[in-house]
């Protein structure tokens, strides 16, 4: 008896990769939410969220590169990436609303922060032999210089 052929669950390779990336992104977003939930101060929550991204990329360098550096990234609408961006804008806005950082355009500040963090993470993945400073130290400088977090006195 012949087994009937079924339609493949994915139309092509890109559709399959996108499904995997959606699943991985969901895991990353849960990890970020958990990290943010561990703090009550908006700056601590933004810091925790940012550091989770770096740790996730370190554990999943190939997935990070496909998410942020691949040609698939340029060809395919990855709606979930907007969720990541919106979450960073919201986290920055919470810091502004709490008076923890100067009031500014939260979307622009979040974009600067995202560009700096993704650059730092990507450079670590692509040039692992460089003497990089600890990512938490670098993220702290980004928070001070780009977001306006006050340095402890």
CA nearest 41: which of 97, 1, 109?
97
Q: Where are the domains of the chain?
A: 13-147
Contact 103, 148 (CB under 8 A): no
Among 67-71, 83-87, 114-118, top mean pLDDT goes to 114-118
Contact 118, 65 (CB under 8 A): no
Specify the higher pLDDT residue, 113 or 16.
113
* Rounded Cα distance, 86 and 21, in Å: 18
Contact 92, 147 (CB under 8 A): yes
Asked if pLDDT for residue 82 goes beyond 80, the answer is yes
CA nearest 78: which of 63, 68, 88?
68
CA nearest 114: which of 70, 152, 57?
57
pTM of the model: 0.86
Specify the higher pLDDT residue, 9 or 113.
113
Fold category of 13-147 in CATH: Tetracycline Repressor; domain 2 (1.10.357)
**pLDDT tens-place string over residues 133-149:** 999 999 999 999 999 99
**pLDDT tens-place string over residues 34-68:** 999 988 899 999 999 999 999 999 999 988 888 87
């Amino acid at each position: 008896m012949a087994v009937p052929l079924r339609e493949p669950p994915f139309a092509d390779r890109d559709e399959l990769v996108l499904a995997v990336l959606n699943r991985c992104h969901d895991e990353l977003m849960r990890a970020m939410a958990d990290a943010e939930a561990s703090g009550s101060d908006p700056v601590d929550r933004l810091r925790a969220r940012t550091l989770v991204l770096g740790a996730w990329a370190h554990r999943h360098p190939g997935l990070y590169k496909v998410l942020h550096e691949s040609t698939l990234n340029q060809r395919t609408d990855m709606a979930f990436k907007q969720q990541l961006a919106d979450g960073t804008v919201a986290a920055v806005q919470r810091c502004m609303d709490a008076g923890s950082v100067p009031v500014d355009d939260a979307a622009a500040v979040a974009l600067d922060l995202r560009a700096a963090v993704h650059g730092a993470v990507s450079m670590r993945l692509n040039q692992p032999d460089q003497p990089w400073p600890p990512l938490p130290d670098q993220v702290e400088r980004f928070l001070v210089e780009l977001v306006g977090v006050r340095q402890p006195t």
